[in-house]
Structure 1
């Protein structure tokens, strides 16, 4: 009976003084790096002589390749013989790619790579171990719910619950007591006071006081009328001489105050400036006669001006507000305010992923499906600056939970920080479908250009 063949996986271990410090089984094919940086597949102990990151294996075309340079030492078992790195370089068994040499590995290959001093890296292809290899304790040592429970506490809790539930069931099953009906006379006094409130005291009649107050108010206006009539009658002059005397007295009081004092101080005819205005008359009596017919402020109308038109010569009419109205005017349509439509293009390239746990093509499809939000960030600033364009390189990390870690803007040729800040906010809300074992760094470029 033929046994079914099972594909082998790469096993990599770190040796120091003949002891295995750490080993990895690459169940998922991918690149393998070692170094002091925490982002490597295998982190080496801290040492000044060790590099930050060195690529050792790469997975291309369904096959692992061993990577080494001219300064590295090691041996590889190929078929039935062991060959060191120097022989692989000189005999042309390894292909040269820049400063590195590439050796394709078969599943029967194994070897050792010397890193620094006592640190060595060994590798070989082995069958994948079962994932469910966990130690199982004997039945006598396995714990259970009953064995780990405090039995005294459990007994007290069970008795307390039984007592409480029994009392509740007894209360529910018993009939409620009958309440006797009470008559109105049997009610306590506190209920009687609430149901039958006391009547408020009636206010005392005040009709007599109101009548006396009304009579007093009616008598007061009559007394004032009788007082006003003698005063009005006394203010009228008895004859023309008394009227002239009163007028002279008023002129004498007014001429020494305010503007009239200034106008009456001097003049060309000796009668003051006021006399010059009114003509050749002099004396305070002329001023009184001139002002005797003066009235209040009036409104000039066409009827009051007369047919002779306004003073100063010429003819014309007084125009009112209605005469100033224009005719023949039409409506002015200012139109409606419209917002200028601005659009831009966002193009992206293949992302740079430094781990094999995340598929580049799947990551590119995920980001391209959400380019509309990135485009909105660009178009928002494009409305303010129509010539805005450039490239933004964003570097972020994918956490084992699928969310984004640290987000940095590595390159921004647009000269606009608002677009970069908006892109950082959009990427922070993404949840990727990948669940890597460790934090995976990703670099993704966005190129922005106006659409028209």
Structure 2
């Protein structure tokens, strides 16, 4: 049984000719692999080697040398210097698939050829003290300046200098004056702040309370005349002679008042106006005689006149409105009032976008989905001028927030300012799905024509 190897460590080096390219000391026992895989102990871009090949493996407290048929080399096992193929042919190497394994003692050393120019040498050495670490030759030792990418450092230094200089200039310069914006150019989020709060309207009195107040004002105030009926009631005549005299006095007073004064209360010499109206049928008698037999006065309605027939002693016939008609050569048909529908057509040409951050096709799809609002602006003025047609070119900026700014009507062949103002208001409410790093100018043409 092989003795455990605790006193010495494995030293492996890579040789190119007689020059040592790299050297490893396996302070902790373990496998040593070579190949193209970055996880190997030693990465070698050799096409003949597999991705990972274990040249030295640590099993049962002992290192084993592993090689295949393509490898060449020699091993000194302490008693003799033997070629790898001789170890294979003499049966001193155990076969494992397409690989061969040779156990190594602490006195073993040797060389394994990986390529015609690259070789691995190995031996067991006494581990160095912890204070003494292996150092590379001075010509191979690198520093911070040697390991730094000088081109990258130069670009970084120039960039930092440029940025800090620009920041210092900006901080030291005075800010430019901010131009005053008109109400049309003001964004929507500031328009709400400028709107004054609506004052509360005083509560109007109800109709019932107003009528009650008016009735209260019109209500007559009590006076001394209210006491007269009581006095008259106490002075009521008690004999027939006094009653007749009282009636004659009242008739005399009434005859000289109001309408009776105009018509005349009796015939007399001229008969009066009432005699002129009634003629000789009354014989110039008294008004009371002329009105004798009158049953009273009522308001004529459709139910009282049309349903019950004519009143009085005559045989006249009441004609309804439905029995009236017109005569003539033509027939009049007024019909019903109709509103003529006016429609317009809006076509959008290819826009001009001055940045690659905004997708032109996506912008066209977004605006075509909202052409109905632009069409409404045109149709509103088309009702007033049916021959209105032309082209409107709108230029605006897409802000980093997605909203629109600096909206201008660059060309308007319609000759109608109301359409341009309406289009500017519609575009101001748009929020695009683009978020560019800087403002993106856009020129978008709209062509208007009547649909009919």
Please, what TM-score do these two structures have when normalized by structure 2? Answer: 0.34
